[in-house]
Amino acid sequence: MKLPAEQIEAALKDLPGWTGDETGISREFTFPSYEAGVAFAVQVALMAQRVNHHPDSLEIGWKRVRVRYVTHSAGGVTDKDLEAARGVEALVG
C-alpha cells in the first residue's frame, strides 16, 4: 500500500542521506574507487534478489552509486521500499 508523505518523511529521518517523497526515495553513496562502487552495486542487486524487491534504478557512476526505490504497482513508496533502503544501509554498515 502506498504510504502518505508524512509517514515517508518520518521514516527518512532514520535513514541518513536518503531523500524523497511519495514518488520515490533515493540515496547516493560515494566510494574510494570505481571498483568499490561496482562491488557495492552488485551487493545491492544480490540483496534485491533475496528479498524479491528491486530498486527502481541503480545508477553506477565514477566512485558513486545512486539507489532509488519506488513500488510501481502501488503507485508510490511502500513499506517494502523503506525496508529495502534499510537493507542497503546494512550493506554499508
The string of pLDDT tens digits covering residues 59-76 is 999 999 999 999 999 999
How much is the pLDDT for 80?
Answer: 98
Here the CATH number for the domain that contains residue 29 is 3.30.1360.20
Q: How far apart are CA 19 and CA 77, in angstroms?
A: 12
- Position 3 confidence tier, pLDDT thresholds 50, 70, 90: very high
> Read out DSSP for 40-61?
HHHHHHHHHHHHT---SEEEEE
The string of pLDDT tens digits covering residues 72-93 is 999 999 999 999 999 999 999 7
Q: Which residues pair with 30 in a beta bridge?
A: 64
Q: Strand, coil or helix: what is 83?
A: helix
The structural domain count of the chain equals 1
How much is the pLDDT for 7?
Answer: 97
Q: Smallest Cα–Cα separation from 36: which of 70, 73, 64?
A: 64
Residues 61, 34, 20, 45, Cα dihedral to 10° = 100
Could you count the other beta carbons within 10 Å of the beta carbon of residue 23?
A: 11
Domain that holds residue 14: 5-92
